[in-house]
Amino acid sequence: MIDNHILAPIFVQLFTAIIQLMCWRKTLTQRYLSVGGSLIGLMVAFRLFNRVYEGGILTLNAANWDAPFGIVFVADLLSVTLVLLTSIACFAVSIFSSVGLSRQRMLYGYFPIFHFLIMGLHGAFLTGDIFNLYVYFEVIIISSFVLMTLGGRKAQLEGAVKYMAMNILASMFFLTGIGILYGITGSLNMADLSIRIQEVQNKALIGITSCFFIIGFGIKSAVFPLYYWLPSSYHTPPSAVAATFGGLLTKVGIYAMLRVFSLIFIPDDFTRILLMVIAVLTILTGAFGALIKTNIRRLFSYLIVCHIGFMIGGIAMFSKVALMGAVFYLIHDIMVKTNMFLIAGLIRQLRGTMDMNKLGGLYSEYPKISLIVAIVLFSLVGIPPLSGFWPKVFLFQEAFSQHQYFYIAALIIGSFVTLYVIAKMWSEVFWKNPPASEGMENLFAPMPPYKKILMVLPIGLMALATLYIGLNAEAIVKVTDIISTQLMDPSAYIDAVLGNKTD
Amino acid sequence: MKSAILQTATRYLLPILLLFSFFLLLRGHYYPGGGFVGGLVASIAFVLHSFANGTENTMKILRYKPLSLIPIGLATSAVSVTFPLLFGLPPMTGLWFEEPIPVIGMIGSALFFDIGVYLVVIGVVLTILFTIALND
């Protein structure tokens, strides 16, 4: 069904950013605009989600050019779910950054760039054209590079150089892949590609092309052995920025993999084994990396890597149940990881450091905040009935039925290491008595009460969303069920895009 | 760098280059040209002026900061992209006036998109170059 309004989430972010650019250096106005724009974006995304959930896939032909020739935007359930989650995260981060960020960074255009980044994310989720996907990836990279370097401290620049180098490399691979794909099929529309690629005789060439996409998306979503840029760059920018990055950017890579491997390159045995090996090694390296870190944000960075492996494993098994697990984990992960970095920012505000050895005693001082944090941490670990538990059920079930014992072992190790690391962090940061020798600088206590509330509010909101995902898992399972059905059988997607033009 | 030849030449070149950039902008719908190239040529005109007369003088004749051109240009483009939505058409659809206008020809929403690009390019190029020039 054609609907000309599915791009509304993109335009809301675009216009928010443009109006903020007009209020250059008026940081207070920019803060109000940012929160207001994010709220409108959230409502628009929610409406879009409802319409797609009830009415099925919506498409839009940009500039009124018909499907295989023009650029198509497709809102299927996977896209709109991710758009909705991004909007929730965007709303929370924008509240958090309006109080948690130094004025210096805002003066150099933090807010407009942040909204351009969210616009890029929405675009990447909604587009149905593979080259357009690349363009939105570039929008994301450029915005995130600016966000990462704002402030210009030496550590930031060092992290940003690694980040930039690896991501440009990923874009090159991605672009090369698109080039070859266009060469052998003559189309860029993903639905059209899905049909045309079946007619190509040279299967080896398609296999090689799919490797380009695996490498390109693999770097972006930080899988083994291409993950090392992530832990060495995500701890440098301010927490609000790291929250957006940690929660959303690596997940775009996973989304792109889901899309490309369900529509264009249906995984054959080789691809499955390759993805499975990558998944197992990613989980293990991420888990072992997290074991030895004492800085909270570095620890979280390694956990991101570890949990990316869970989702890759789901894609590698490529069956309905496995994809349900992967998509559910994606939904859970976006909410929790964004919140984790916001929590890291809050801890820094409370204590002036993120080194676990120097932290302690937060529970006795701030029991209510600790309770919210505990919900999030338990969800991350996957204590039933919280949100991290349900996707693992699906992943385990499918792994057993496909006899993927290495993956099962990795899942167990990954989960236990997460549990151990989070328990260690909980005891070090919240329960342990604070080391007396260090003079703590508490930036939180002197803040006016409304700022304190605004700082904790986004964490609470995201924790509520996480609780909803966990306690009302049935609704999420229903959504993931439809999504994985659509992914396994792309004919609905192709029909929606190409319509009845098959004659 | 004070050079009488360059200063005199620039006095004539600045309007000519601006005119040429505008020509490129209008030509761009069907032929080589367009907002991006036009914007580059226009900013080169100002860069030439700043070579001859110093960056401060160029900023004086511009009156506004080039940075402020960026949001204006972006807004022009974004509005021209979303405008067709009011008529129930997909974004970016070309809307055209019925009657051609003398000299310029047919006017449509694509022209406003290009004007937006033109302004953004001028804004970005001049902001970067002036920032570098003033930091010396």
Q: Which residue has the tokens 């944090």?
A: A373
Strand A58-61 to A72-75 pairing: antiparallel
Residues of chain A in contact with residue B72, where contact means CB-CB under 8 angstroms, are 22
pLDDT value, residue A461: 92
CA–CA distance from A463 to each of B42, B48, B114 (Å)? 52, 57, 45
CA–CA distance from A180 to each of A72, A127, A210, A216 (Å)? 21, 20, 10, 14
Residues of chain B with pLDDT under 50: none
Asked if residue A501 has pLDDT above 70, the reply is no
Least confident of A83-92, A231-240, A318-327, A456-465: A231-240
Q: Which residue has the tokens 């079930």?
A: A397
pLDDT value, residue A500: 60
Shortest alpha-carbon distance between residue A115 and chain B (Å): 14
Q: What's the gap between Cα A191 and its chain centre? A: 24
Asked if residue A190 has pLDDT above 80, the reply is yes
**Binning pLDDT at 50, 70 and 90, where does residue A438 land?**
low
Asked if A24 is an interface residue toward chain B (Cβ–Cβ < 8 A), one would say: yes
Asked if A10 is an interface residue toward chain B (Cβ–Cβ < 8 A), one would say: no
**Binning pLDDT at 50, 70 and 90, where does residue A437 land?**
low
pLDDT over 70, % of chain A: 98
Search chain B and give the residue with CA nearest A17: B71
Both tokens of residue A59? 């498409």
Answer yes or no: are the C-beta atoms of A126 and A256 closer than 8 Å.
Answer: no
Task: Please give the interface size between A and B, counted as residue pairs whose CB atoms are below 8 Å apart.
Answer: 40
Search chain B and give the residue with CA nearest A16: B75
Tally Cβ neighbours within 10 Å of residue A19.
18
Residues of chain A in contact with residue B90, where contact means CB-CB under 8 angstroms, are 4, 60-64
What average pLDDT does the segment A372-400 reach? 89
Answer yes or no: are the C-beta atoms of A74 and A497 closer than 8 Å.
Answer: yes
> Within 13 Å of residue A350, how many CA atoms lie on the same side as its CB?
24
Both tokens of residue A361? 């005693």
Asked if A5 is an interface residue toward chain B (Cβ–Cβ < 8 A), one would say: yes
**Binning pLDDT at 50, 70 and 90, where does residue A436 land?**
low
**Whole-model pTM above 0.90?**
yes
**Cβ separation of A18 and B89 shorter than 8 Å?**
no
Residues of chain A in contact with residue B75, where contact means CB-CB under 8 angstroms, are 18, 22
**Cβ separation of A21 and B94 shorter than 8 Å?**
no
In 3D, which of A13, A47, A84 has the Cα closest to residue A334? Answer: A84
Answer yes or no: are the C-beta atoms of A385 and A476 closer than 8 Å.
Answer: no
Residues of chain B in contact with residue A67, where contact means CB-CB under 8 angstroms, are none
Answer yes or no: are the C-beta atoms of A350 and A239 closer than 8 Å.
Answer: no
**Cβ separation of B78 and A11 shorter than 8 Å?**
yes
What average pLDDT does the segment A111-123 reach? 94
Shortest alpha-carbon distance between residue B103 and chain A (Å): 27
